[in-house]
Amino acid sequence: MADYTNFTVETDADGIALITWDMPGRSMNVFTEEAMDELDRVIDQVAGDAGIKGAVFTSGKNTFSGGADISMLHKIMTRFHEEKARDREKAVRQLFEEAGRMSWLWRKLETSGKPWVSAINGTCMGGALELSLACHGRVVADEEAVRLALPEVKIGIFPGAGGTQRVPRLTGAEEALRMMTSGQNLSPQKAKAVGLVHEVVPRRRLIEAARKMILDGLRSVQPWDEKDFKVPGGPVYSAAGANLWPAAIAILRRETYGNYPGAAAILKCVYEGLLVPFETGLRIEQRYFAQILQTREAEAMSRSMFISLQELNKGARRPKDVPARKLKKVGVLGAGFMGAGITYVTAKAGIPVVLIDRDQETADRGKAHSARLMDDLIKKGRATEAEKEKLLSLITATPDYAALEGADLVIEAVFEDSDVKKEVIQKAEAFLKSSSIFASNTSTIPIKGLAKNSKRPGNFIGIHFFSPVERMMLVEIIQGRKTGEKALAVAMDYARAIRKTPIVVNDTRGFYVNRCVLRYMQEAYSMLAEGVPAPMIENAARMAGMPVGPLALTDETAIDLAQKIMRQTVRDLGEKAVDPRHMELIDTMADKHGRLGRKNGKGFYEYPPKPAKKYLWPGLKELYPQQAPEKIDVEELKARFLYVIALEAARVMEEGIVTDPREADVGSILAFGFAPYTGGVLSFIDGVGTGEFVRRAQDLQKKYGKQFKPPKLLLQMAENGESFYERFRPETGQLVKAA
């Protein structure tokens, strides 16, 4: 019997080989070069053994596989860059071959002459799903946690192991494009409905059902290898194709503005691949995959949205010498929208939580928020009544601070007022044990000031959530001047428990995220004052890659809040700290016109009753003389948005507020959706090149103002030819330089 590290092969009396994938030392199976080498040998063993009638492929872990190990792609790219410096033509040939390694291994499996069935016992993503699609049969466990997806587009690449060729030949081109360009998860039932899997069975019957498919005569030839094969939904050149392809191209352009080469490559692969025989289609896919791997977008997105994200979620910045703590009780002060959201995610993580407000009625309203969120999940089939009751049983709503006794962590989320916060801090601390950690959810008030109200400033920290708490995946953990490592470790443990990505930020006004977001919105105010039509402002921002226009974002956060922040800034830092044009605009909107944003149904946008959609307030064009749209450089508008945010992030790094480029990048994408195709704010600068970035910023500074002035740090980096990922080397791993 062959000896494998990652697989076991057991053949039963019926001649069915059960291949179990169980990588030692890993919580999830992923494809590495070693695993693929072994699987190559497994395929040879199955194909060459006359006693084996067919093979069932499954996982020995709780979930099937997350697909390829992305660090393997970075190793491939490292070799490419090293060889490219010596011989570009040889490097490109080598990359092309490596880009097709997985694809042709899966092709070897499906043409091995023996029937294969993939028995999917958990989440099956990326290359693992592509392997399953190469199998002749697919059986999936009927469980809520099971998800099938080809999510590669979310990290800048695309399904390059046969996915763009097999999925459309199974589901039809329209469904295939929808699945792959969105990276959406499919439930077992949905996957069966669209033709990706054959059977959905209880988990206990998974292997039995897979064996039965083979024993019942499963053919070892794929449909697309049959002479009479017809693509579901019709060929490219058909009436259906004529309706699909022009619309698909237009939709992709509308959704991505051409910023995502990986998404565009999916359309090209499917379109071209369906015009040729299957193996030629695989070669086309291989060609595009090798091209996309070389793009700046693929490198930056895969680094930030996969490698860095995983490292931060695993606690890359957590103090190593502090033992992990499992939280047994959490207190939340303030049952408003934020406090209620924090309560919900805490209880959802299975942690008992005490929710406190000024009276019982207010506290109960905060708890009711969790009930409503669970009701929404129940309606969508993603939760049960029993799960709702269990979650609500973990929440104690009360006005009594004594209920905090025994809490490991208390989070205040009361009104953004220093005096109010001082009162609740002191009330809570009267009942806390000496080891308890106190956290503030403040978004504007420095932690060092709030910590002065605490008897134990070493145990005082900031945990800044984003709204809505249940949907936003990021938390800023803010260290005050006296915050100790134990407080930081507990905050990180809590973030991990509630499945949020933490970034560590040192104390300053606005912390990190809000400083960048305010720059984004303020640049829009400048554009309005210059007479740039509001629709051009919003459209240019979205074309630059931002998910929400800056005027729409101001409406969501409230115009009167922007007014309060500006006035407080003037009080604290003087009149020169706020552009008078911005103050005049916001005062005019709030005081003269009573336009406060979405909350009162009128802001920069009008909000008619549903189902009508919001639209920009026509009165905006009356506030300032309007420039002729044809005389405005849209590319410059796009650059202004990206540069003004990135420059603020560079200042934050210079000031030591954020010290790890991974946190700056991941935080910018998760918190406010900074153009994900760039890999985040600092990856954007690195991708442009610090020298070129500084030159362009200085040009913008001459035309539009001091907000575009490069900080000294950037000037030094430009002079030395440094990138952020070279100057601020993250603690783990070697990162690939841009091509």
* Same domain, residue pair 571 and 459: no
Look up residue 702 and give its DSSP letter: H
What pLDDT was estimated at residue 739?
A: 31
380: confidence class by pLDDT, cuts 50, 70, 90: confident
Q: How many residues are there in the chain?
A: 739
Q: Judge if 257 and 124 occupy the same domain.
A: yes
Window from 54-68, 105-119, 720-734 with minimum mean pLDDT: 720-734
Question: Using CA atoms, how far apart are residues 602 and 613, in angstroms rounded to an integer?
Answer: 13
pLDDT over 90, % of the chain: 87
**pLDDT at residue 736, rounded to an integer:** 37
**Over residues 278-296, mean pLDDT:** 96
The last residue of one of the domains, among 294, 318, 352, is: 294
- The predicted model gives 710-737 an average pLDDT of 80
Confidence (pLDDT) at 735: 37
Same domain (yes/no): 678, 615: yes
Which class for 603: exposed (0-12), middle (13-18), buried (19 or more C-beta within 10 A)? Answer: buried
Euclidean distance between CA atoms 503 and 304, whole angstroms: 13
Query: Which domain does 379 fall in, by range?
Result: 330-509
CB 156 within 8 A of CB 301: yes
Give the DSSP H/E element, type plus range, for residue 59.
strand 54-59
Task: State yes or no: pLDDT of 611 exceeds 50.
Answer: yes
DSSP-derived 3-state class of residue 124: strand
Q: Express each pLDDT in 193-212 by its tens digit.
A: 999 999 999 999 999 999 99
Q: Is 48 domain-assigned?
A: yes
In this structure, is residue 660 part of a structural domain? yes
Examine residue 369 and state whether it is found in any structural domain, yes or no: yes
For residues 80 and 226, membership in a common domain is answered with yes
End position of a domain, from candidates 470, 490, 509: 509
Residue 369 makes CB contacts below 8 A (sequence gap 6+) with 337, 340, 341, 343, 344
The C-alpha atoms of residue 358 and residue 105 are separated, in whole angstroms, by: 64
Give tens-digit pLDDT for 302-345: 999 988 999 999 999 899 999 998 999 999 999 999 999 999 99
The residue among 237 and 74 whose pLDDT is bigger is 237
DSSP class of 697: H
Q: Quick one: 520 and 633 in the same domain?
A: yes
Q: 108 Cβ partners below 8 Å, 6+ apart?
A: 40, 43
Is the domain of 521 the same as that of 493? no
Shared-domain flag, residues 470 and 541: no
Are the C-beta atoms of 261 and 297 separated by less than 8 Å? yes
Contact between 46 and 15 under an 8 Å Cβ cutoff? The reply is no
Same domain, 549 and 611: yes
| Structural domain ending residue among the three candidates 294, 322, 348 | 294
- The model's pTM is 0.91
Percent of the chain topping pLDDT 70: 99
CATH code of residue 478: 3.40.50.720
The gap from C-alpha 159 to its chain's centroid, in whole angstroms, comes to 18
- Tell me, what's the pLDDT at 526? 97
Whether residue 371 sits in one domain with residue 272? no
Q: What is the per-residue pLDDT for 705?
A: 95
> What is the predicted pLDDT for the residue at 169?
97
In the predicted model, is pLDDT for residue 737 greater than 50? no
What pLDDT does 731 receive?
55
Mean pLDDT of the chain: 94
pLDDT of residue 323: 92
Does any domain span residue 647? Answer: yes
With 60 as the cut, is the pLDDT of residue 733 above it? no
User: Is residue 558 in a domain?
Assistant: yes
- pLDDT tier at 365, thresholds 50, 70, 90: very high
Q: Is residue 630 part of a domain?
A: yes
Could you give the residue numbers annotated as active site?
Answer: 464
pLDDT at 1 (0 to 100): 53
Same domain, 504 and 539: no
pLDDT in tens, 175-188: 999 999 999 999 99
Q: What is the pLDDT of residues 92-151, one digit of tens each?
A: 999 999 999 999 999 999 999 999 999 999 899 999 999 999 999 999 999 888 899 999
Verify that 533 and 659 share a domain, yes or no: yes
Phi–psi pair at 413, nearest 5 degrees? -140, 45
One domain for residues 468 and 523: no
Q: What is the pLDDT of residues 622-670, one digit of tens each?
A: 999 999 999 999 999 999 999 999 999 999 999 999 999 999 999 999 9
In a domain, 142, yes or no: yes
Strand pairing class (395-398; 353-356) = parallel
Give the separation between CA 353 and CA 225, rounded to whole angstroms: 58
Average pLDDT over residues 533-554: 97
Domain count, the chain: 3
Q: Which residues in 320-342 are b (16+ Cβ under 10 Å) and which e?
A: eebeebebebbbbbbbeebbbbb
Return the CATH number at 123.
3.90.226.10
Interval 683-711 mean pLDDT: 97
- Whether residue 468 is preceded by a cis peptide bond, meaning omega within 30 degrees of 0, is yes
Q: Which of 76, 85, 10, 82 is nearest to 49 (CA)?
A: 10
Q: Please, which residues have CB within 8 angstroms of residue 473's CB and are 6 or more apart in sequence?
A: 499, 500, 501, 670
Q: Is 738 within a domain?
A: no
Q: Which of 113, 99, 130, 128 is nearest to 44 (CA)?
A: 113
